[in-house]
Amino acid sequence: MSRVVAYFAATIAFLVLAFSFQNTTIGDIATGAFIALATPAILAINDEKVAIRMRWYSVRYRKEAVRISAAYLFRIKVDGKYLLVKGVRFPHYQPVGGVFKVSPKGRAFLASIGAQDDDLIPIDQASEADLRIRVEGAKLNKFYDWFDGRTGREDAPWREFQEELIATSIVSGESFPYILHEYHGRMVDRIRFSPHANSHEIIMADIYELLPTREQEDALRLTLSAQRDKFGWFTSEEIRRRGVLPGAPNVTPIAEHAQKIV
């Protein structure tokens, strides 16, 4: 965020100089410096747009308790189709992934900003330490800076891959003793009021893409024609339409957030 402030301040300063000293050597130098800085300033602002938005939310919703759910989603694609698994809590198909877990160090930080456990989904052994919280709006910027720093929270998609695909025997541990993946960025929905949560909420998702070895890709390909019960392979159109296709006799419920991996 400091990089954005520095770029913005320098750009404005050179713009003022360029107007103040038009048709002079100083003005020409300032104009050149402004042009040189304008593009990286715009790029820096774009890179930090979520952090900037969070700072605005910290002011706009400072007196409200805001619900936050931060998860990661896995894009697993073979032959033009995406692998989705059937949810446990909700009977729809969704990407492999789940809510980030928080370490004791992360819990200490969340306690320091007064974050409370979210009660929308019951807390049990499976959901304990999930990064699903409610925090005072004024602390949203501090929360996001901590989250973006990745310290004190889960920072890899292996756990859910193991739980949702290997432990359920959709793929074998022999084929997947390890995985390689690529980070594809973060999607942060704009704040909105949720009737279910009875509060404003922010949904965040980090997107990862599986980079299978040739043997792993072959193992995944073998499941393309398997019986669809715990999982299924879907085209981008099916996912965007959430399983509803014109003229199709059956409807396969697909979660809205599955669109984030397409």
58 within a domain of the structure (yes/no)? no
52 within a domain of the structure (yes/no)? no
Among the listed residues 114, 201, 97, the one whose alpha carbon sits nearest the alpha carbon of residue 156: 97
CA 111 – CA 217 distance, rounded (Å):
43
75 within a domain of the structure (yes/no)? yes
pLDDT for 225? 80
pLDDT for 47? 54
80 within a domain of the structure (yes/no)? yes
157 shares its domain with 199: yes
CB atoms within 10 A of CB 245: 14
pLDDT per residue as tens, the chain (262 positions): 555 556 556 656 656 666 677 778 776 675 666 566 555 555 455 557 888 899 999 999 999 999 999 999 999 999 999 999 998 777 899 999 999 999 999 999 999 999 999 877 666 655 678 999 999 999 999 999 999 999 999 998 999 999 999 999 999 999 999 999 999 999 999 999 999 889 999 999 999 999 999 999 999 999 988 767 889 999 999 999 988 877 666 778 999 999 999 9
20 shares its domain with 90: no
19 shares its domain with 135: no
Both tokens assigned to 68: 């936050």
pLDDT for 128? 78
192 shares its domain with 125: yes
169 shares its domain with 230: yes
94 shares its domain with 121: yes
CATH number at residue 229: 3.90.79
- The range of the structural domain enclosing residue 28 comes to 2-47
- pTM of the predicted model, to two decimals? 0.79
Q: Return the axis-axis angle of helices 49-60 and 140-149, rounded to nearest 10°.
A: 150
56 within a domain of the structure (yes/no)? no
81 shares its domain with 190: yes
142 within a domain of the structure (yes/no)? yes
233 shares its domain with 174: yes
Q: How many domains does the chain have?
A: 2
CA 227 – CA 167 distance, rounded (Å):
18
39 shares its domain with 68: no
31 shares its domain with 68: no
53 within a domain of the structure (yes/no)? no
55 within a domain of the structure (yes/no)? no
116 shares its domain with 241: yes
